[in-house]
């Protein structure tokens, strides 16, 4: 995993700074801005996947605003699905921890139980969201069944690297956000864009590792046959 490249490729190219500015301005648009950036991320995922060096990509441009918006709808929907699952799992964790606290008649025991259960679940769900989002990005459409069938195959081959990537990127992203706050808080939104694009690069790098381990490409005939679905 090349973490330096992940956090630098977006800016270290011609038009990178302008692209960062435009993507940041897009985020200022409620809801629609997030969908647009997600659409751009999907296009970058395709660019990086095609480039052997996982570096080449088109800079963000408002000339393609409508295209990004259209492309970002399905990743946005998948994000909502992931959030819904996360909220459900967290709710189950809260109920379980409350049950432990009531059974022990000790609030702190229940709190500790929640912490012990919630942390691994949070990490696990975050790692599991990587192949789910990547599938809808590279497929260019929302195939929920195929995405959820792809996720365990993906993680079965690269779960260790994905877990390490999660922890390392969490530390690096925290540092980027801190720098954003240090710039009188005006750097927070640009920091969010940099982090999002870094995570995109890391996702594609993991996908490359998955393919190197013999995984079926997203959208291939073999993947569709294994899932038992079709492209529609």
On whether residue 99 sits in a domain, the answer given is no
On whether residue 30 sits in a domain, the answer given is yes
Contact 206, 165 (CB under 8 A): yes
**Helix axes 144-182 and 188-212, enclosed angle (nearest 10):** 140
Contact 198, 130 (CB under 8 A): no
164/88 Cα distance (integer angstroms) = 25
Lowest mean pLDDT among 1-15, 73-87, 137-151: 1-15
Return the ∠ at Cα 169 (arms to 88 and 122), rounded to 5°. 15
In order of 92, 112, 113, 125, 160, the CA distances from 119 in angstroms are 13, 11, 10, 10, 17
Q: Provide the number of structural domains found in the chain.
A: 1
On whether residue 182 sits in a domain, the answer given is yes
On whether residue 116 sits in a domain, the answer given is no
On whether residue 47 sits in a domain, the answer given is yes
**Helix axes 107-139 and 65-104, enclosed angle (nearest 10):** 160
Question: Which tokens sit at 75?
Answer: 């990743």
pLDDT of residue 232: 46
* DSSP-based helix, strand, coil % in the chain, nearest 5: 80, 0, 20
> For the CA atoms of 88, 94, 95, 99, what is the dihedral angle to 10 degrees?
160
Q: What is the pLDDT of residues 93-150, one digit of tens each?
A: 777 777 777 777 666 666 676 777 777 777 888 888 999 999 999 988 888 888 998 9
Give the mean pLDDT of 41-50.
Answer: 91
Task: Map tokens 């996947």 to a residue.
Answer: 49
Question: Which tokens sit at 71?
Answer: 């492309």
Q: What is the pLDDT of residues 63-72, one digit of tens each?
A: 999 999 999 9
pLDDT of 206 over the 90 cut: yes
On whether residue 89 sits in a domain, the answer given is no
184/182 Cα distance (integer angstroms) = 5
Q: Which domain holds residue 172?
A: 3-77+135-227
Q: What is the pLDDT of residues 217-232, one digit of tens each?
A: 887 766 666 665 554 4
- CA distance between the termini of the chain: 34
On whether residue 126 sits in a domain, the answer given is no
On whether residue 163 sits in a domain, the answer given is yes
The contacts of residue 35 (CB under 8 Å, 6+ apart) are 68, 69, 72, 73, 76
Of these ranges, 7-21, 38-52, 175-189, the one predicted with the greatest mean pLDDT is 38-52
């Amino acid at each position: 995993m090349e973490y330096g490249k992940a956090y630098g490729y977006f800016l270290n190219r011609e038009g990178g700074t302008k692209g960062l500015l435009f993507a940041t301005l897009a985020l200022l648009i409620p809801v629609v801005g997030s969908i647009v950036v997600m659409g751009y991320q999907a296009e970058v995922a395709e660019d990086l996947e095609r480039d052997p060096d996982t570096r080449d990509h088109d800079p963000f441009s408002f000339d393609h605003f409508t295209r990004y918006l259209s492309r970002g709808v399905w990743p946005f929907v998948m994000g909502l699905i992931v959030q819904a699952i996360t909220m459900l799992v967290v709710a189950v964790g809260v109920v379980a921890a409350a049950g432990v606290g009531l059974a022990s008649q000790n609030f702190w025991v229940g709190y500790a139980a929640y912490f012990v259960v919630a942390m691994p679940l949070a990490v696990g769900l975050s790692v599991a969201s990587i192949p789910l989002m990547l599938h809808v990005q590279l497929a260019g459409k929302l195939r929920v069944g195929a995405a959820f069938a792809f996720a365990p195959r993906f993680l079965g081959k690269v779960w260790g690297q994905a877990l390490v990537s999660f922890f390392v990127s969490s530390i690096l992203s925290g540092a980027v956000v801190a720098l954003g706050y240090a710039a009188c808080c005006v750097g927070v939104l640009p920091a969010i864009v940099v982090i999002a694009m870094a995570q995109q690069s890391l996702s594609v790098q993991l996908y490359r590792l998955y393919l190197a381990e013999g995984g079926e490409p997203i959208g291939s005939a073999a993947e569709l046959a294994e899932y038992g679905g079709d492209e529609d």
